[in-house]
C-alpha cells in the first residue's frame, strides 16, 4: 500500500475517536482566538466544554462566506502572523474577496489531501502531470502542483491559457495526467481537433483531474468519449483547503471525504438542522486541524448527501454524492426552481449539440424571458432551416421533459460562445432584482 493512502483505511472507531479528539482541541483554540466565533458561541449559550460527543458539534454556530468578507482581511485568523506562510483568496469579482491565511502545517495537510486523491485515481510517480489550473490566488494550480510533486510525479506547470502551446507540450513531453476545469478541457479538445491532434492517437494522456466548477455525469461521459481518458472528480473549496478535500475511487459513484482532516455534516438548508446519512441537503465542513483560519461548521451551499453504505474499495472515509448543484445557484424561472446543472444534463442528451451553452435571463414588465444559447457540433451544423429546426426541437423537448419549461432555444455555430481557462460563467441574469 502507498503510505500516502494508509489513513484511508483506518477503522471507523479509530476515525471517530480521532475526530472527537481533534474537535476538542479545535473548538477551544478558535473560541480563544477568533472574536466572532466566541461572540456567536456566547450568544448561543454554548461553551467549548459542551463538546463531549461528535453529535454535540451541532450545538455550535455556523460560519459562512459572508463572515469572511465581513471580517476581511484577517478577522478570522487564529494563528499569529509569524506562523502564517501562505495567503489564498477568492477572485473577489463582486465586493471584497475572501482571504485565507494558512500556516505551513495547513499547506501540508492540503497537499496530502491532493496526493491521496491522485493516488486513489491510480496516478503514480511514473506519471507526467500537466497542471492547467490557474496559479496564484486561486488554489487550483498550486494545490494540484504540490499534490503531484508529493507523489513523486514530474509536473508541467502550464497554468491556464495559451492553449495551442499546452497541446504541443502535452504531446512533446508525454503528459499522462491533465489537471484543469472540465470546461477548459473541453476547450482544449476543441482546439486540438482544429490542430488535427487526436488525444487517443497523438498523446499519452490517461487521466484527467477535474474540479473547481460543478459538472454533470453527462459531461464526464462526453470527456471520456472524446479523449479516452479516465475523468476523475476532485472536490474542494478555498475556505476549507482547496482541491483535495474529497475525490472518487474506482468503485464509488461519489467522492471519499478525508474525514481525518475535514468533518462533514449535511443540514437542511431551510431549518439548518442536521440530517442523517442518506438524506440530501447542504454540505457543511469543519476543518479539524487547520490553525491559520479554522472553520467550524462552514456552510458550503453545495447540495449533496453522505452515502450510508461503506464503499467496496475498503476505504472507511464516508462517500459524498458528487455535487450536482449549489443552493445559491438556483434560479427561479416562472415559479420553477431550476439549476444550471439540470440544463446541462438535458443538453447532453442531444448528440447534435456541444457542451458549450449560455443561459440568459431578462424580464419585461409582466414576465421573465428565458433563453438558452447552445453550440451545434461541427458535424451536425447545417445551413438548412429544416435541419437546424429538428435539432432545436430535440433540445426543447429534452428540457421540457426534465425541467418542465419551454425556453427560447438559439442554436449557434461551433466556436461561437465564450471560452474560459478558469471557471466558466454559464448564466447571465439581467432580470430586475
Helix (H) or strand (E) holding 33: helix 12-33
State how far the Cα of 359 lies from the Cα of 357, in Å rounded to an integer: 7
Cell of 199: 488525444
pLDDT per position as a tens digit, 407-421: 999 999 998 998 765
Cell of 81: 502572523
State how far the Cα of 117 lies from the Cα of 33, in Å rounded to an integer: 32
* Residue pair 278/247 in contact by the 8 Å Cβ criterion: no
* Residue pair 241/109 in contact by the 8 Å Cβ criterion: yes
Beta bridge partners of 369: 362
Beta bridge partners of 87: 101
Q: pLDDT value at position 413?
A: 92
* Residue pair 399/406 in contact by the 8 Å Cβ criterion: yes
Number of H helices, E strands in the chain: 11, 20
Other Cβ atoms closer than 10 A to 241: 29
The pTM of this model reads 0.84
Look at strands 255-257 and 262-267 and give their pairing. Answer: unpaired
Look at strands 408-412 and 368-376 and give their pairing. Answer: parallel
Residue 187: strand, helix, or coil: helix
The residues of the chain scoring below 50 in pLDDT are 93-94
State how far the Cα of 372 lies from the Cα of 402, in Å rounded to an integer: 15
152 φ/ψ sector (left φ>0, alpha ψ -120 to 50, else beta): left
Cell of 107: 499547506
Q: pLDDT value at position 93?
A: 46
pLDDT per position as a tens digit, 82-100: 999 999 987 554 467 889 9
347 φ/ψ sector (left φ>0, alpha ψ -120 to 50, else beta): alpha
CA–centroid distance for 222 within its chain: 18
State how far the Cα of 59 lies from the Cα of 20, in Å rounded to an integer: 14
Strand arrangement, sheet containing 281-287: 262-267, 281-287, 298-304, 325-326
SS3 content of the chain, % helix, strand, coil (to 5): 35, 25, 40
Kindly calculate the radius of gyration of the chain based on its CA atoms and give it in whole angstroms: 22
Q: pLDDT value at position 139?
A: 92
Tell me if the bond preceding 73 is cis, omega within 30° of 0: yes
Q: pLDDT value at position 429?
A: 85
* Residue pair 407/347 in contact by the 8 Å Cβ criterion: no
Q: pLDDT value at position 433?
A: 54
State how far the Cα of 113 lies from the Cα of 106, in Å rounded to an integer: 11
Helix (H) or strand (E) holding 403: helix 385-403
What structural domains does the chain harbor?
1-329 (3.40.50.12780), 330-429 (3.30.300.30)
Amino acid at each position: 500500500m502507498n503510505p500516502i493512502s494508509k489513513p484511508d483505511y483506518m477503522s471507523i472507531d479509530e476515525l471517530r475517536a480521532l475526530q472527537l479528539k481533534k474537535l476538542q482541541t479545535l473548538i477551544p483554540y478558535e473560541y480563544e482566538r477568533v472574536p466572532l466565533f466566541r461572540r456567536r458561541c456566547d450568544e448561543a449559550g454554548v461553551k467549548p466544554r459542551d463538546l463531549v460527543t461528535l453529535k454535540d458539534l451541532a450545538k455550535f454556530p455556523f460560519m459562512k462566506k459572508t463572515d469572511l468578507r465581513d471580517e476581511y482581511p484577517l478577522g478570522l485568523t487564529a494563528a499569529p502572523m509569524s506562523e502564517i506562510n501562505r495567503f489564498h483568496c477568492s477572485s473577489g469579482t463582486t465586493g471584497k474577496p475572501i482571504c485565507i491565511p494558512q500556516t505551513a502545517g495547513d499547506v501540508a495537510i492540503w497537499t496530502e489531501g491532493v496526493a491521496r486523491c491522485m493516488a486513489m485515481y491510480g496516478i503514480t510517480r511514473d506519471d507526467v502531470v500537466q497542471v492547467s489550473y490557474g496559479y496564484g490566488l486561486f488554489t487550483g494550480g498550486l494545490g494540484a502542483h504540490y499534490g503531484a510533486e508529493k507523489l513523486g510525479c514530474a509536473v508541467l506547470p502550464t497554468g491556464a491559457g495559451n492553449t495551442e502551446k499546452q497541446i504541443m507540450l502535452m504531446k512533446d513531453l508525454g503528459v499522462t495526467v491533465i489537471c484543469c476545469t472540465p470546461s477548459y478541457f473541453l476547450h482544449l479538445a476543441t482546439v486540438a481537433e482544429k490542430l488535427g491532434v487526436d488525444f487517443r492517437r497523438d498523446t499519452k494522456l490517461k487521466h484527467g483531474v477535474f474540479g473547481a466548477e460543478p459538472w454533470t455525469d453527462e459531461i464526464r461521459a462526453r470527456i471520456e468519449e472524446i479523449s479516452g481518458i479516465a475523468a476523475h472528480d476532485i472536490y474542494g473549496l478555498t475556505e476549507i483547503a482547496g482541491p483535495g478535500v474529497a475525490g472518487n475511487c474506482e468503485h464509488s459513484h461519489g467522492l471519499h471525504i478525508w474525514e481525518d482532516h475535514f468533518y462533514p455534516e449535511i443540514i437542511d438548508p431551510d431549518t439548518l438542522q442536521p440530517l442523517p446519512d442518506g438524506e440530501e441537503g447542504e454540505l457543511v465542513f469543519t476543518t479539524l486541524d487547520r490553525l491559520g483560519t479554522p472553520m467550524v461548521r462552514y456552510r458550503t451551499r453545495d447540495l449533496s448527501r453522505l452515502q450510508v453504505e461503506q464503499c467496496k474499495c475498503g476505504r472507511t472515509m464516508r462517500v459524498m454524492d458528487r455535487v450536482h448543484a449549489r443552493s445559491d445557484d438556483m434560479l427561479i424561472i416562472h415559479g420553477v426552481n431550476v439549476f444550471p446543472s439540470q440544463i446541462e444534463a438535458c443538453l447532453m442528451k442531444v448528440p447534435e449539440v456541444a457542451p458549450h451553452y449560455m443561459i440568459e435571463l431578462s424580464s419585461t414588465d409582466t414576465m421573465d424571458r428565458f433563453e438558452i444559447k447552445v453550440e451545434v457540433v461541427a458535424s451536425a451544423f447545417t445551413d438548412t432551416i429544416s435541419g437546424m429546426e429538428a435539432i432545436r426541437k430535440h433540445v426543447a423537448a429534452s428540457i421540457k421533459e426534465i425541467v418542465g419549461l419551454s425556453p427560447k432555444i438559439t442554436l449557434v455555430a461551433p466556436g461561437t460562445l465564450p471560452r474560459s481557462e478558469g471557471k466558466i460563467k454559464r448564466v447571465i441574469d439581467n432580470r430586475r432584482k
